[in-house]
Structure 1
Amino acid sequence: MDAILNLRENAARQGEKTLTRPTREEAEAAVRTLLLWAGENPDREGLLDTPKRVAKSYGELFSGYNESPEEVLGTTFEEVSGYNDPVLVKDIPFFSHCEHHMVPIIGKAHIAYLPDDRVVGLSKIGRLVDVFGRRLQTQESITAQIADAMDTILHPRGVAVMIEAEHLCMSMRGVKKQGSTTITTTFRGTYRDDANAQARFMTMIRLG
């Protein structure tokens, strides 16, 4: 049900007609079609259960469509003993999929925020990365989405996000440049306006 609601919400935001989610059987049939198009025989022994496995794995790989950033960040804590300096969670591993080729993006995220009397559980920040990562994405979009969610839900004084990732659509196909890394950053609030705060964020990431 959540996934269907998400389809409708996405369509409404983009001014499109309401989308209908296919059945599991239709998804499996689509995988069979792709196997045939690739030149394979979906009826050979090794591929008999592949359509079911792919449909099931897609449910996990794109589970972010069924999750809400508001729910993930909804619980905060006021007992911080007056702490109001940066909170940084770095080297958060994640994977996503390129929305242009549906090929994996593999990387890590670094997220910092300046609390305004309230903090959020550190594990929630990792979960937030998965909410947006487990969708079809561009790296620029996921960077901005994480920052916007932190900013609008937590109302901190500032948010900083950096993502470093390898795009397999660039490594496996096209120019085939293995090992290249793409870095994106975005800032909200105090971080956007204060070059010293940005520099401190970068320094904290590189320490240790």
Structure 2
Amino acid sequence: MDTLMDIPRQVRTRPTRAQAEEAVRTLLAWTGDDPDREGLVGTPDRVVRAYEEFFEGYQDDPVALLERTFEESGNYNEIVVLRDIRLESHCEHHIIPLIGKAHVAYLPDRRVVGISKLARLVDVFAHRLQIQEKLTAQIADTIQSVLQPRGVAVVIDAAHQCMTTRGVHKPGVSMVTSRLLGEFETSEPLRRQFFAMAGMGGM
């Protein structure tokens, strides 16, 4: 069984760029429009280039990202919180954006990691086809596995355009998910401290 950190197996050989562009042309024609008209003739190329950016997380190794750590931390052993990390991902059910913020915390055990690496880790997993529950777990589990801290806490608050611009059409609704590991799971005072530091004191 794959772990949460694994990149999905390639069931078939990855299509060529030309095949990807042709697939976009097919969808454009399916909508009832003309892929050869002036406004759309360059759209397949633009869509494929956008997909390269949206889903660049498949090219990155999240474990390698966190492997460089620092032990000269002055014996710091309190919560490290990176809050309000901008998050942009795509729902794997409709390939429609979900946009929000991630709050990531860990309790160091001798080692700390550069804060930019935590933000980048969020991006690596967000830039794949996702469901928010899995995304939350992947971020937390990777930090726990690589850094082996005393605890990890991750909360994501995001709006899903698959339910705001289609389907039930409920704008203004966001979904909140969390994963608490180690001491964050077992200590209520520590959980409260995390939520307060992340600006979510009411949770």
Check the 8 A contact 2:77/2:108 in 1, yes or no: yes
Check the 8 A contact 2:73/2:110 in 1, yes or no: yes
Check the 8 A contact 2:7/2:58 in 1, yes or no: no
1:131 matched to 2:116? The reply is no
Name the count of aligned residue pairs: 196
Structure 1 distance, partners of 2:139, 2:178, is 11
Identical pairs, percent: 53
Structure with the higher helix share, 1 or 2: 1
1:55 matched to 2:53? The reply is no
Structure 1 distance, partners of 2:114, 2:12, is 35
Match for 1:53: what amino acid?
R
Structure 2 distance, partners of 1:31, 1:206, is 42
1:20 matched to 2:13? The reply is yes
Structure 1 distance, partners of 2:11, 2:43, is 30
Structure 1 distance, partners of 2:70, 2:30, is 53
Match for 2:131: what amino acid?
T
Change (3 A) 1:194 1:151: same
Check the 8 A contact 2:153/2:184 in 1, yes or no: yes
Residue of structure 2 equivalent to 1:3: none
1:42 matched to 2:35? The reply is yes
1:200 matched to 2:181? The reply is no
Give 5+ residue unaligned stretches, structure 2.
1-5
1:74 to 32, 47, 67: 67
Question: Cα deviation per residue 1:92-132 (whole Å; 9 max; x = unaligned)?
Answer: 00100000000000000000000000100000000000000
1:99 matched to 2:92? The reply is yes
Change (3 A) 1:9 1:34: same
1:179 matched to 2:177? The reply is no
Change (3 A) 1:80 1:9: closer
Give 5+ residue unaligned stretches, structure 1.
1-7, 12-16
SS in 2 for 1:159: strand
Residue of structure 1 equivalent to 2:78: 85
SS in 2 for 1:76: coil
- Give the number of the structure with larger relative contact order, counting CA–CA contacts within 8 Å between residues 6 or more apart: 2
Structure 2 distance, partners of 1:39, 1:192, is 52
Match for 1:74: what amino acid?
E
**CA RMSD, 1 decimal:** 1.5
SS in 2 for 1:88: strand
Structure 1 distance, partners of 2:184, 2:12, is 38
SS in 2 for 1:178: coil
Question: Cα deviation per residue 1:9-63 (whole Å; 9 max; x = unaligned)?
Answer: 623xxxxx83210000000000000001111110000111100111111011000
Residue of structure 1 equivalent to 2:104: 111
Residue of structure 2 equivalent to 1:10: 8
Deviates more, 1:193-202 or 1:83-92: 193-202
SS in 1 for 2:39: helix
